[in-house]
């Protein structure tokens, strides 16, 4: 028996969207009919890519996945977004114990705020367990090869950002 829940959301900053994120998303679409990737715009985080650039990247990368949508959460609570979207599940990727501790706290808070949604923890393929967006940003901006960890679309945009940054420093 395959579990199919009508709607799930997969929130995150996704700066940038990595192959680990994509792997978790692929796992989510095997469980849920409709998954919305929700790009969180967090004013306390300094991002390399604007929310428009992240949305564009994710839409291009996920174009071949049925039932996947991309949206942006500009402000407000994730629980409110989930409620308004009619989501019954919140997808969270966990790579290591440190991730789980933080995500567990968030899931309990979200359960309090919106009990109708269940947080579902999914682990990416082991080859992506050490891949974090922050590491990809740093290595990519320093000219390191991150091609095994991101989609070619992301690689191209990282290269462009690096060129823009080096041009502004000259």
Residue in 7, 55, 107, 133 annotated catalytic? 133
Asked whether the predicted pLDDT for residue 2 surpasses 90, the reply is no
139 is in an annotated binding site: no
HEC sequence for 115-137: CCCEEEEECCCHHHCCCCHHHHH
Q: Which pLDDT belongs to residue 97?
A: 74
- Whether residue 94 is annotated as binding a ligand: the answer is yes
* pLDDT for residue 8 is more than 60: yes
Domain positions in the chain = 5-129
Binning pLDDT at 50, 70 and 90, where does residue 131 land? confident
Q: Is 54 an annotated catalytic residue? A: no
CB 82 within 8 A of CB 9: yes
Say which of 45, 74, 127, 156 is annotated catalytic. 45
Does 133 qualify as catalytic in the annotation? yes
**45 among known catalytic residues:** yes
pLDDT tens per residue, range 37-80: 999 987 677 899 999 999 999 999 999 999 999 999 988 899 99
Q: What is the per-residue pLDDT for 160?
A: 94
* Buried/exposed 43-62: b ≥16 CB within 10 Å, e otherwise: eeeebbbebebbbebbebbb
Compute the average pLDDT of residues 20-31. Answer: 95
Query: Using one digit for the tens of pLDDT, what is the confidence trace for 86-116?
Result: 999 999 998 877 778 888 999 999 999 999 9
Q: What is the mean pLDDT of residues 113-122?
A: 95
Superfamily of domain 5-129: HUPs (3.40.50.620)
133 is in an annotated binding site: yes
Please indicate whether residue 137 is annotated as part of the active site: no
Q: Which residue has the higher pLDDT, 42 or 136?
A: 136
Answer yes or no: is 170 a known binding residue.
no
149 and 20 in contact (C-beta within 8 Å)?
Answer: yes
Predicted pLDDT of residue 101:
84
């Amino acid at each position: 028996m395959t579990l199919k829940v009508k709607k799930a959301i997969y929130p995150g900053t996704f700066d940038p969207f990595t192959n680990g994120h994509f792997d978790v998303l692929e796992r989510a679409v095997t469980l849920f009919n409709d998954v919305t990737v929700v790009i969180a715009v967090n004013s306390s985080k300094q991002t390399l890519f604007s929310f428009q650039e992240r949305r564009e990247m994710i839409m291009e990368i996920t174009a071949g996945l049925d039932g996947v949508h991309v949206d942006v959460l500009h402000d407000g609570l994730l629980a409110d977004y989930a409620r308004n979207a009619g989501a019954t599940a919140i997808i969270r990727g966990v790579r290591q114990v440190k991730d789980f501790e933080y995500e567990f706290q968030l899931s309990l808070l979200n359960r309090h705020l919106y009990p109708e949604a269940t947080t579902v923890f999914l682990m990416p393929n082991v080859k992506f367990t050490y891949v974090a967006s922050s590491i990809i940003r740093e290595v990519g901006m320093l000219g390191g090869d991150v091609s095994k960890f991101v989609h070619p679309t992301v690689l191209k945009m990282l290269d462009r950002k690096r060129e823009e940054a080096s041009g502004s420093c000259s």
